[in-house]
Amino acid sequence: MKIGPVRENRPAGIVLRDLGKHFPGAPLPAVAGVTIDIREGEFVCVVGASGCGKSTVLRMVAGFESATAGDVLVDGEPVTGPGPDRGVVFQDYGLFPWLTVRENVAYGPRQARLPRSFVAARTAEAVEAVGLTRVAGSFPHQLSGGMQQRVAIARVLANKPAVLLMDEPFGALDALTRSDMQHELRRIHRDAGVTVVFVTHSIEEAVYLADRVVVMAGGSAHGNAGHVREIVDVDLEGDRDPTSPEFNAIERRIDALVHAGNAAVA
Ligand SMILES: Nc1ncnc2c1ncn2[C@@H]1O[C@H](COP(=O)(O)OP(=O)(O)OP(=O)(O)O)[C@@H](O)[C@H]1O
Q: Considering the domain 14-85+161-261, what is its CATH architecture?
A: 3-Layer(aba) Sandwich (3.40)
Å from CA of 56 to ligand 1 middle = 6
Is 60 exceeded by the pLDDT of residue 4?
no
Please tell me if the CB atom of residue 219 comes closer than 6 angstroms to any atom of ligand 1. yes
Where in the chain are the domains?
A: 14-85+161-261, 97-160
Å from CA of 53 to ligand 1 middle = 6
| Range 129-133 average pLDDT | 92
Alpha carbon distance 215, 202 (integer Å): 12
Classify residue 104 as left (phi > 0), alpha (psi -120 to 50) or beta.
alpha
The pLDDT tens digits for 143-190 are: 999 999 999 999 999 999 999 999 999 998 999 999 999 999 999 998
The pLDDT tens digits for 210-231 are: 999 999 999 999 999 999 999 9
Is 60 exceeded by the pLDDT of residue 245?
yes
Alpha carbon distance 21, 72 (integer Å): 12
Cβ proximity of 87 and 161 under 8 Å: yes
* ∠ Cα 12 194 124 (to 5°): 135
Please tell me if the CB atom of residue 54 comes closer than 6 angstroms to any atom of ligand 1. yes
Residue nearest to atom 5 of ligand 1 (CA): 23
Please tell me if the CB atom of residue 51 comes closer than 6 angstroms to any atom of ligand 1. yes
The one-character DSSP state at 222 is G
Q: Which residues contact 82 (CB under 8 A, 6 or more apart)?
A: 62, 63, 64, 88
Q: Which residues contact 116 (CB under 8 A, 6 or more apart)?
A: none
Q: Which atom of ligand 1 is nearest to the CA of 25?
A: 4
| Range 82-102 average pLDDT | 93
Cβ proximity of 208 and 240 under 8 Å: yes
> How much is the pTM?
0.93
Beta strands in the chain (DSSP E): 14-21, 31-38, 43-47, 69-74, 77-78, 86-89, 163-167, 195-199, 212-219, 224-233
ipTM above 0.95, yes or no: yes
Phi, psi of 221 (to 5 degrees): -65, -20
Q: How confident is the model at residue 59 (pLDDT cuts 50, 70, 90)?
A: very high
Residue nearest to atom 7 of ligand 1 (CA): 23
What pLDDT does 84 receive? 87
Cβ proximity of 239 and 69 under 8 Å: no
Å from CA of 219 to ligand 1 middle = 9
What pLDDT does 264 receive? 46
Alpha carbon distance 6, 9 (integer Å): 8
- Residue of 21, 23, 197 best suited for mutating to test ligand 1, as the one with most atoms within 8 Å of CB: 23
Is 90 exceeded by the pLDDT of residue 67?
yes
The one-character DSSP state at 180 is H
Q: What is the mean pLDDT of the chain?
A: 92
Å from CA of 62 to ligand 1 middle = 15
Please tell me if the CB atom of residue 55 comes closer than 6 angstroms to any atom of ligand 1. yes
